[in-house]
Structure 1
Amino acid sequence: MAPPLTCDRNFSLEDVHIEGAERIAEAVAKYDIDRFIHVSSYNASKDSPSEFFRTKARGEEIVRSIFPETTIVRPAPMFGYEDRLLNKLAGVTNLFTANHLQERFWPVHVIDVGTALSTMLEDDNTASETYELYGPTNYAMAEIAEMVDKEIFKRRRHLNVPKMVMQPTAKMLNQLLWWKTTSADEVEREFLDQVIDPNTKSFADLGITPAELRNYTFHYLQGYRSSAFYDLPPATEREKKEEKKYLHVIDDQ
C-alpha cells in the first residue's frame, strides 16, 4: 500500500510530523540548544480518526522524549495574509464540502500566534509546557463563510457531497493531480470539531488577548472585491450603520 499523501507526494504525514520532528529534536539535544518550541496542531490526539492529528500527537511525544524542555504549541486554524481559511472560503475553487461546513473551531490571528511564540522564546518559565492558542469566539465554518461572502460582495456556492463519496474521490484526485486539491484526511477533519484540552495553558498565561476574527475580514479580503465595491467600508461598519438607521426609524414611529 502506498503511504498517505500530503500536498507533496514525496513525503507522508508520518515522514513530516514524526520523523521530521524527531530529527529536529535530536539536533536540538545534540547541540544543547537553550529553547525549543515545537508547533503542533489543535486536536492532536493519538486516538483521532484523522491521521493528520494522530501523527501530530505522536510527534509531540517523540520531541518531548528526546528534549523534555520542549514547549509544545497547538494553534487553532489561523487567519491572516495567504491563510488557508479566509482565502480558501473566498476563492472560486472552494466548491465542495462533506459536512455542510458545520466543523466548529476557535480561529486565531496569526499575528497573535507569532507574538506568543516570541514571548515563549524569552520566557524560560514556558519550557516543558503545552499551550493551546485559539481565538475568543467559536464559529462553525458556515458562519465564517457567511462573513466572507458579506465582505467580498459575492456569494460562493458550497455543494455538499456525502463523505462516502467525497473521501475516495479526494484520495484519487490527490494521487492523480500534481497540484494541491484536497485529501481524504482533510475530508475526515471536516467532521472533527476543535476540542480544548483543559490541562494546557493558553494566551491568558502569556498576557496576550487574542484578536476577534470579524474585526479583520475586511483587512484580509478586500482584494477579492470587484472594483465597484473595493472602497466600501467593512461589513461590520455597514451592519452598524444599517442598525442605526433601523433604530432611528423605530424611534420616529
Structure 2
Amino acid sequence: MSDTYEVFAVKYAHHGPRSAALNFIDGDPHEPSQPLDFYVWAVANKDRIVVVDTGFDEAMAKRRERTILKPVPEALKAAGFAPDRVNDVIITHLHYDHSGNYDAFPNARYHLQDCEMAFATGRCMCDEKMRIAFEADDVTALVRKVYAGRMTFHDGEDQVAPGITVHHIGGHSKGLQAVRVKTARGDVVLASDGIHLYEHFEQNKVFPITYNAEEAIAGYGKLKALASSVKHIVPGHDPKVLERYPAPNAALKGWVARLDVEPNA
C-alpha cells in the first residue's frame, strides 16, 4: 500500500465581508478584513480516499447566514471523489462547519480526538458562549457513529493510514486536531482551524472563537514542527489558498486547489 498522497482543498461555502473584529481577538471593528472561505479536504492515492472534515449543508448555511457555493457531496464528486468511495473521514473538531453532512459518507470510518468528544458532550456545553460553534444534531450524529461501530478515537498523535497522521493541537476547540500527509513534495499539514488565515500564524493573532488562546498560539509552533516547511502548512479558511495553489484542471479553477505541489507564493 502506498504511503504517499495527492491532497486537495475543496471550497464549498463563503462568508464575507467580515470586519477584523470577527477574525482576530482585539481586531479593530472599523478595519476591513478578508472574508472566510469554507473548505473540506481530500487526500487520495490509488489505495485510499480520506476526507478531512465534512462541512455544513444548505439548511445550516441559511441558519448561520453563510453562502453555500457547492454542496459538499456534490463538490467532492465533481472533484473526482465520490462520497460512497471514501474510506475514512477525519473530523478535525466538532464545530458546525466541520462536522455536518454526516450521512454523506456511508462506507467511511470516522476519526476524532477523545477530548473533542468529551468537550462537545460535557459540562462546557452548558455555557451558551462555549457551545456557540457547535450544533447538537452534528454532535449527536457522531455519537451514533460510535454506537454503529464506525468511530476510531485518537489521543494526541496517531496514524490513520500509512502516510497520514493526526496531531492534537487544541486552542480553537479543546480537541482540535491537525492532519499531516506525506506527499511527493514533503509533509503537508492541514491545519484546519489551528490556523484560520495565514495572518494568524504570521503575526501570532488568535481567532475570537477560542477555547484557550495560549494553547492556540502554542499550536502554531506545533504545526510548524510537523510540516516540512512553513509553505507546507495549509490554513483552514483563507481564500488565498486558492490563489497560492494551482487547480487540478481548468474546470476546477476557483474552487479546488492541489496542495501536494509547490505553491506560487
> If the length of structure 2 is used for normalisation, what is the TM-score?
0.27
- Which is helix-richer, 1 or 2? 1
- Which is strand-richer, 1 or 2? 2
Larger Rg: 1
> If the length of structure 1 is used for normalisation, what is the TM-score?
0.28
